[in-house]
A = this chain, B = another copy of it.
């Protein structure tokens, strides 16, 4: 008789955003007359930029013609896209990454979930607390996290690094030594970021203790301040200790288009074994490439027109962030984030816990956000709002919140 992977049974409840979806659906069904404004899941709302639409149409036409049809893509992704990424996201910033160190994929969520597969299940992971749930949940599924304590909502074998108001939502080096360190800056969910000097400390630490940093830079396009690193490879020594994950979802609105990439430098080795070679093997065996038309859309992100249009799109969302930040401050909330990131992190008022505030905001203002506790125990008493709505909805949501 077959058996299941019983690590799955250890997972408490269902995935955070599924739970929110169900709560909102139930509320909508009961109150069909109420217009709900969603500032929760971090999904974008602006249409794809014209340069991207044009690239998609062109690629679709190519697929309709035998001479220009494209079948299976190269394992690592098309060179035209990997070259554009290497040049624009790395080399132009002085970060030494070459096209053949880039693995194109269907999104950073998948890569964030799959990357742990090339590591031993004995490895100990360290995560920020609060944190994007995918890092921990996928390690639970792999059997790397020990047992769950429902009282503290923590796993026995996970090293949690609290990110709180006290440390400016930037983690301190852990007391116990981890093997894999997940870092995400600009941060989801807190919207905080890290200076280049602070990140350099992490790189030095990882090289010293023999850990790998899995650096999620999905929100890099939202950086507005100087001295905030756009990639971990701006730091010296990162090529021997860091994997970087990038997404096209937030800088180009690709949440429904699906494109991302992972960088593994060739110097990143465990003894003699190249992690680049392991990930190439996984990519070639368990994945079959991002669609040709989507990779052409990705290329258009780096065209002069694409860049200009997406700069405007990011500015649009960052204007929303400013609207939320200022509106919340005006309403008396304690807030952070929203300057180098599309997320605003607020302290729930009146000692409400995160889910109480979720229900309160949904029922009283018809506004959906994300409970901070869904991201980890140190997120309790916090709440995340995103800048990815339309300006009209964002402004309307803030008017409603101010009236509470």
Report whether B118 and A4 are in contact in the complex, using a CB–CB cutoff of 8 Å.
yes
Residues from 166 to 200 in A contacting B, C-beta threshold 8 Å: 179-180
Report whether A53 and B61 are in contact in the complex, using a CB–CB cutoff of 8 Å.
yes
- Per the bound structure, the CA–CA distance linking A387 and B63 in Å amounts to 20
A18 interface contact, C-beta 8 A: yes
Task: From the candidates B5, B15, B43, B66, name the one contacting A390 in the complex (CB within 8 A).
Answer: B66
12 additional contacts (CB under 8 A) given A46-B69, A291-B294: A1-B179, A1-B209, A2-B119, A3-B120, A4-B278, A8-B118, A8-B278, A18-B75, A44-B71, A69-B253, A109-B288, A258-B288
- Per the bound structure, the CA–CA distance linking A123 and B5 in Å amounts to 9
Beta-carbon contacts of A52-93 to B below 8 Å, as 1s and 0s? 010011001101111001111101000000000000000000
- Per the bound structure, the CA–CA distance linking A345 and B285 in Å amounts to 23
Report whether B14 and A281 are in contact in the complex, using a CB–CB cutoff of 8 Å.
yes
- Count A-side interface residues using an 8 Å CB cutoff: 82
Given A56-B63, A64-B48: A5 touches B210 (CB 8 Å cut-off): no
Residues from 285 to 306 in A contacting B, C-beta threshold 8 Å: 285-294
Chain B residues closer than 8 Å to A106, beta-carbon distance:
106, 258, 288
Chain B residues closer than 8 Å to A285, beta-carbon distance:
15, 113, 133-134, 137-138, 141
- CB closest residue in chain B, given A49: B64
22 A-B residue pairs with Cβ-Cβ distance under 8 Å, sorted by A, are A1-B179, A1-B211, A3-B120, A3-B122, A4-B278, A8-B282, A18-B284, A47-B65, A47-B66, A48-B63, A53-B60, A53-B61, A56-B293, A57-B60, A60-B60, A106-B106, A109-B286, A109-B288, A113-B287, A141-B282, A256-B292, A291-B294
- Per the bound structure, the CA–CA distance linking A281 and B278 in Å amounts to 26
Task: From the candidates B43, B107, B286, name the one contacting A114 in the complex (CB within 8 A).
Answer: B286
